[in-house]
Amino acid sequence: MYLCHQKMAKILPLDKKRKFFFVLFSLNRIFAGRMQQMITILGPTASGKTPLATALACALPASPDGSVGAEILSADSRQVYRRMDIGTGKDLADYHLEVSGSAVDVPYHLIDIAEPGTKYNLFQYQQDFRDAYNNIIGRGKRPILCGGTGLYIEAVLKGYQLSPVPQNPDLRARLEGKTLEELTQMLEELKARNGSHMHNTTDVDSCQRAIRAIEIEEYNLHTPTEKREMPPIPSLIIGVSIDREARREKITRRLKARLEEGMIEEVRGLLQEGIPADDLIYYGLEYKYLTEYLVGKSTYDEMFSRLEIAIHQFAKRQMTWFRGMERRGFTIHWIDALQPMDVKVDEILKLYSKSEIENIKL
């Protein structure tokens, strides 16, 4: 038995050990010589997705050499940026586990791959995801997609056909000076004409982001999309559900902790590097409100209050997107975030075993 499985066996109550080893035995039988179906773990901010993903990676059958048999693909639109660590909630320590007195590292991908000040986009994410995904399955590992950016998740699961969209200086000049509300209304009208599900309000919480979204929708409206090889990816989808009040309490507690851990200093350091304030505001949430505070547009108390409200609203919009995915045909298996970790992992293992058996029958 490998180290990660020893850990799970140690923390499971006696009456659940038999179930765990039965599932483990079934998974080993099913996985032998087969390409592994991806597991997707999604949920709102502060629901504990990353710790769950790393615990699951350890619980899945290990590689023949005894190393962790699964690797994590991030689905977070801001964790791609280097040196934006506290504000994006990378929590990289979650990928380093202590198992039976030994250090175990769970490999991760699509984190720290772009420079702050650049505008990483969905098209780039699809390309980078596909490269990392093929690399993982090519080495016989199991991919776990984990994150809260619904647009990124849906794009790779459904296989959106996208093309790179150039900037439109004339359009940008016409949109300059419009309010976020005006831009959002324009975007909604364009989405209706395109029949588009892209660019949820989760992703357009600043004028810059709204203008870029309008630019993309305008381009897609008037330019035939170049078809590319981007097939859908089958995946067991796990949703981490957290009670609204528990989520609000955790968001507030986490915000206070991150401010104490140096989040203001992190943003100040990015500004001192020469990254324009408008570029940081473009990234939204923590980077928007902390930048405005640092350049003197708000007091500390105003910053905290506005940011706290914005994160609560963001979490609500994330859940709206995930419910929309269900209406668009995705099956999401929801589990309670407040359950003990071993219970959540055991539940996912059983769902995964059942899903793989059904795939074999097909």
Between CA 353 and CA 26 the distance in angstroms is 7
153 token code pair: 């998740």
Q: How far apart are CA 214 and CA 188, in angstroms?
A: 9
What pLDDT does 197 receive?
65
Which run of H or E residues covers position 335?
Answer: strand 332-336
Burial 320-350 (b: 16+ CB within 10 A, else e): ebbeebeeeebebeebebeeeebebbbebbb
Q: Which helix (H) or strand (E) holds 71?
A: strand 70-74
Q: Which amino acid is at 4?
A: C
Dihedral (CA of 127, 95, 23, 238) sign: negative
C-beta separation of 239 from 334 below 8 A: yes
What are the Cα distances from residue 77, in Å, to 61, 74, 265, 309?
A: 29, 9, 22, 20
In this structure, the chain runs to a length of 362
Q: What is the DSSP letter of 247?
A: H
Distance CA 36, CA 71 (A): 12
For position 35, what pLDDT does the model report?
Answer: 54
Rg value, the chain, Cα: 21
In this structure, the number of other CB atoms found within 10 A of the CB of residue 166 comes to 9
189 CB-near residues (< 8 Å, 6+ apart) = none
Task: Report which of 345, 356, 354 is spatially closest to residue 60, judged by C-alpha positions.
Answer: 345
Residue 158, token pair as written in the block: 């459904």
CA distance 291 to 281: 7
At 219 the pLDDT is: 81
* Sheet of strand 38-42: strand arrangement: 108-109, 70-74, 142-147, 38-42, 235-241, 332-336
Residue 29 has pLDDT above 50, yes or no: no
**301-313: b (≥16 Cβ within 10 Å) or e:** eebbeebbebbbe
Query: What is the number of alpha carbons within 13 Å of residue 93 lying toward its C-beta?
Result: 2
8 A C-beta contact, residue 57 and residue 72: yes
Chain position carrying tokens 């902790």: 257
The pLDDT value recorded for residue 14 is: 45
Q: For residues 124-144, give the mean pLDDT.
A: 96
Instruction: Render pLDDT for 160-207 as a digit per residue (tens, 0 to 9).
Output: 877 677 788 888 888 888 888 888 889 888 888 877 766 555 456 678
- For 14, counting Cβ atoms within 10 Å of its Cβ (0-12 exposed, 13-18 middle, 19+ buried), the class is exposed
Prediction pTM value = 0.80
75 vs 189 pLDDT, higher one: 75
**Helix 341-361 × helix 3-11 angle, to 10°:** 120
Residue 174 CA to residue 46 CA, distance in Å, equals 38
What percentage of the chain exceeds 70 in pLDDT?
84
Give the model's confidence band at 108: pLDDT under 50 very low, under 70 low, under 90 confident, else very high: very high
The residue type found at 73 is: L
> Which one is predicted more confidently, 264 or 223?
264
> Please, which residues have CB within 8 angstroms of residue 55's CB and are 6 or more apart in sequence?
341, 344, 345
| pLDDT band per the 50, 70, 90 thresholds, residue 3 | very low
Across 94-122, average pLDDT: 92
The answer to whether residue 45 scores a pLDDT higher than 50 is yes
Q: Which residue do the tokens 């473009």 mark?
A: 282
> Highest mean pLDDT: which of 220-224, 253-257, 350-354?
253-257
Confidence of residue 228 (pLDDT cuts 50, 70, 90): low
User: Residue 203's pLDDT is what?
Assistant: 55
| C-alpha span between 161 and 168 (Å, rounded) | 21
Task: Give the mean pLDDT of the chain.
Answer: 87
